[in-house]
């Protein structure tokens, strides 16, 4: 098989290793790394080049969870949801277990998505073709409704944070009219608030401020870093099975839709687990399910994102667009006949995904204990290093000092919100989905000449909107039920 050649194995290893490092270090990101490495692949054949570049993509998903769990710094936007329960687990002295769980969930999610890529790629491609702007609008509405109750606390606070995220997503230049919105006279705001600036501020800087406010922040309890000690116990393993399967399903479906991406998949998987859990109040406090589901989802989404790219020639996000450009530069033209016209290339690439996931498993598991020891460093030593990484990461994204100052401001706001028990996850999801929601709503209105019924004109969009309405009713009922119980008279 072509993927098992010495050259292919070497560049697969280099790709996933580089991706893991890029994911761990905040601010670089897979898209920037692939753009830098792309010119270096011109001397390679097309398959080897794509194997390496793809390895950077899915390898970064593995690495991004490390900083999220240990330091509450999401290496990528997809790891922001992992902070919610991964960091509390590390604070409880279970950093090693959390890292091992994310590695297992990522491997399982990616592996199942590869099977789907092999078996049902044409079917999922056809499903993706049925999605127009009305269907995408319905998916975004469903995601926003799911965000209303993310995190502990009231749905009212979740709704407030969701709308706050939607508002932040409107900052910058209107892509349709070119009008400037909420730039406050700063030319740096033309492109809006970067997702990295927002996540670094909300999670990283706000956590630093919280540690400083405590003065003597407690270190994580001591734990053993032997593999046997870090393995999840029987109860934790039971808590992993369902979320891993459901997260993989969500990630595989969402990843196959152009424009959705692993970030949306991770948040939706987390929200689903919180909705169906019998103990939703433990989410945000160190729930195994809150780590397993999003990690399985984002890795499954990365693998299934290749379905529309290879089958339809439609990139799902910025990273896939760069990979599509790389394929074109190497003379590879994806499309509906790609699997049959270039079977060796297609199956060689799929086989490399398997090999890459196995390499990632072998790379990550032995070093879990080493990474986990970071939590034993006293906070007054660690905080300065974390601050430097955050500020360098934010600055390197767009080489902008303004972004650094904006991240600090967002961090102060995020610290105040956390202090008042406002959940941050709905804000992030609202920020991510808001521009997509606006884009597809405008597109539907332009095509239908202002006819609102076009939003639910197809069976698929109508079904998704009805699901969103049902989910909203269930959320409202859950919030009102405790009040009714407390208001009911007590029998004498």
Span of 206-220, 225-239, 242-256, 261-275 with lowest mean pLDDT: 206-220
> Which run of H or of E encompasses 327?
helix 318-329
Could you identify the residue written with the tokens 């932040």? 168
Span of 165-169, 390-394, 416-420 with lowest mean pLDDT: 390-394
**Joined tokens for residue 275:** 């909705």
Euclidean distance between CA atoms 128 and 208, whole angstroms:
42
Q: Is pLDDT of 490 > 50? A: no
Q: Is pLDDT of 222 > 60? A: no
> Which run of H or of E encompasses 180?
strand 180-181
For residues 417-436, average pLDDT: 83
Q: Is pLDDT of 49 > 80? A: yes
The confidence score (pLDDT) of residue 337 equals 66
Q: 338: burial class by Cβ within 10 Å (0-12, 13-18, 19+)?
A: buried
The confidence score (pLDDT) of residue 328 equals 78
Listed ranges 314-323, 342-351, 355-364, 389-398; the one with the highest mean pLDDT: 355-364
The confidence score (pLDDT) of residue 22 equals 80
Is residue 161 within 8 Å of 417, Cβ to Cβ? yes
The more confidently predicted of residues 334 and 164 is: 164
Euclidean distance between CA atoms 470 and 258, whole angstroms:
26
For residues 265-290, average pLDDT: 84
Span of 12-21, 134-143, 158-167, 362-371 with lowest mean pLDDT: 362-371
pLDDT confidence of 91, banded at 50, 70, 90? confident
For residues 350-379, average pLDDT: 78
Is residue 393 within 8 Å of 28, Cβ to Cβ? yes
Could you identify the residue written with the tokens 């003597």? 216
Quick one: residue 221, left, alpha or beta (phi over 0 = left, psi -120 to 50 = alpha)? beta
pTM: 0.76
Mean pLDDT over all residues of the chain? 80
The pLDDT > 70 percentage for the chain reads 83
DSSP states of 54-114: HHHHHHHHHHHHHHHHHHS--SSGGGHHHHHHHHHHHHTT-HHHHHHHHHHHHHHHHHHHH
Q: Is 184 helix (H, G, I), strand (E, B) or coil?
A: coil
Euclidean distance between CA atoms 345 and 157, whole angstroms:
50
Measured over the CA atoms of residue 325, residue 195, residue 299 and residue 249, the dihedral's sign is: negative
DSSP state of 201: I
The confidence score (pLDDT) of residue 413 equals 92
For residues 317-326, average pLDDT: 76
The confidence score (pLDDT) of residue 162 equals 85
Is residue 290 within 8 Å of 148, Cβ to Cβ? no
pLDDT, tens digit (0-9, with 9 covering 90-100), for 464-483:
888 888 877 877 776 666 55
Euclidean distance between CA atoms 63 and 17, whole angstroms:
9
Q: Is pLDDT of 135 > 90? A: no
For residues 287-309, average pLDDT: 85
Between 29-37 and 46-71, two packed helices, what is the crossing angle to 10 degrees? 150
DSSP state of 181: E
Q: Is pLDDT of 11 > 80? A: yes
Q: Is pLDDT of 488 > 60? A: no
Is residue 61 within 8 Å of 22, Cβ to Cβ? no
Span of 151-155, 417-421, 433-437, 454-458 with lowest mean pLDDT: 151-155
Could you identify the residue written with the tokens 């360098």? 392
For residues 92-116, average pLDDT: 85
pLDDT confidence of 263, banded at 50, 70, 90? confident
C-alpha pair distances (Å), 186 with each of 30, 399, 410: 28, 16, 16
The confidence score (pLDDT) of residue 312 equals 66
C-alpha pair distances (Å), 228 with each of 93, 100, 236, 338: 15, 11, 14, 45
Euclidean distance between CA atoms 138 and 467, whole angstroms:
9
pLDDT, tens digit (0-9, with 9 covering 90-100), for 275-287:
788 887 788 888 8
pLDDT confidence of 409, banded at 50, 70, 90? very high
Q: Is pLDDT of 492 > 50? A: no
The confidence score (pLDDT) of residue 224 equals 53
Q: Is pLDDT of 153 > 70? A: no
pLDDT confidence of 385, banded at 50, 70, 90? confident
The confidence score (pLDDT) of residue 491 equals 46
The confidence score (pLDDT) of residue 408 equals 92
Is residue 298 within 8 Å of 62, Cβ to Cβ? no
Q: Is pLDDT of 134 > 80? A: yes
C-alpha pair distances (Å), 41 with each of 208, 309, 432: 40, 20, 32
Q: Is pLDDT of 124 > 50? A: yes
pLDDT confidence of 150, banded at 50, 70, 90? low
The confidence score (pLDDT) of residue 410 equals 92
pLDDT, tens digit (0-9, with 9 covering 90-100), for 437-447:
888 899 899 88
Could you identify the residue written with the tokens 């597809």? 440
Q: Is 144 helix (H, G, I), strand (E, B) or coil?
A: helix
Euclidean distance between CA atoms 442 and 439, whole angstroms:
5
User: Could you tell me where the DSSP H helices lie in 187-317?
Assistant: 195-199, 206-214, 227-230, 234-255, 261-276, 288-304, 306-312
Euclidean distance between CA atoms 133 and 443, whole angstroms:
7
């Amino acid at each position: 098989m072509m993927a098992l050649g010495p050259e292919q194995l070497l560049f697969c290893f280099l790709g996933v290793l580089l991706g893991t490092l890029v994911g761990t270090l905040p601010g670089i990101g897979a898209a920037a790394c692939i753009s830098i490495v792309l010119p270096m692949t011109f001397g390679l054949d097309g398959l080897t080049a794509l194997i390496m570049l793809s390895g950077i993509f899915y390898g970064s998903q593995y690495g991004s969870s490390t900083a999220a769990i240990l330091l509450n710094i999401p290496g990528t936007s997809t790891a922001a949801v992992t902070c919610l329960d991964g960091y509390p687990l590390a604070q409880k002295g279970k950093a090693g277990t959390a890292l091992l769980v994310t590695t297992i969930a990522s491997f399982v999610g990616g592996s199942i998505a590869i099977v789907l890529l092999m078996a049902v790629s044409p079917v999922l491609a056809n499903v993706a073709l049925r999605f127009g702007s009305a269907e995408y609008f319905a998916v975004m509405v469903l995601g926003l409704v799911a965000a209303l109750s993310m995190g502990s606390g009231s749905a009212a606070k979740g709704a407030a944070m969701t709308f706050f995220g939607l508002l932040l997503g409107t900052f910058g230049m209107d892509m349709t009219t070119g009008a400037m919105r909420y730039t406050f006279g700063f030319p740096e705001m033309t492109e809006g608030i970067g997702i990295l600036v927002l996540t670094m501020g909300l999670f990283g800087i706000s956590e630093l401020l919280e540690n400083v406010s405590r003065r003597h922040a407690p270190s994580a309890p001591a734990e053993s870093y032997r593999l046997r000690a870090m393995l999840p116990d029987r109860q934790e393993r039971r808590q992993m099975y369902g979320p891993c399967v459901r997260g993989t399903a969500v990630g595989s479906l969402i990843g196959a839709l152009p424009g959705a991406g692993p970030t949306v998949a991770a948040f939706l998987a987390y929200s689903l687990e919180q909705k169906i859990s019998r103990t939703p109040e433990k989410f945000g406090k160190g729930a195994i399910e809150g780590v397993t589901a999003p990690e399985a989802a984002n890795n499954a989404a990365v693998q299934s994102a290749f379905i529309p790219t290879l089958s339809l020639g439609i990139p799902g996000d910025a990273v896939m667009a760069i990979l599509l450009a790389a394929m074109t530069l190497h003379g590879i033209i994806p499309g509906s006949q790609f699997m049959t016209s270039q079977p060796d290339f297609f199956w060689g690439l799929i086989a490399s995904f398997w090999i890459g996931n196995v390499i990632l498993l072998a790379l990550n598991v032995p070093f879990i204990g080493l990474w986990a020891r970071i939590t034993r460093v006293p906070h007054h030593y660690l905080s300065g290093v974390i601050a430097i990484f955050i500020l360098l990461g934010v600055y390197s994204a767009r080489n902008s000092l303004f972004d650094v100052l904006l991240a600090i401001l967002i961090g102060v706001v995020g610290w105040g919100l956390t202090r008042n028990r406002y959940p941050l996850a709905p804000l992030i999801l609202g920020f991510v989905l808001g521009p997509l929601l606006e884009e597809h709503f405008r597109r539907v209105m332009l095509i239908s000449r202002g006819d609102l019924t076009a939003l639910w004109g197809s069976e698929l969009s109508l079904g998704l909107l009805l699901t969103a309405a049902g989910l909203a009713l269930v959320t409202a009922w859950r919030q009102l039920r405790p009040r009714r119980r407390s208001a009911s008279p007590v029998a004498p």
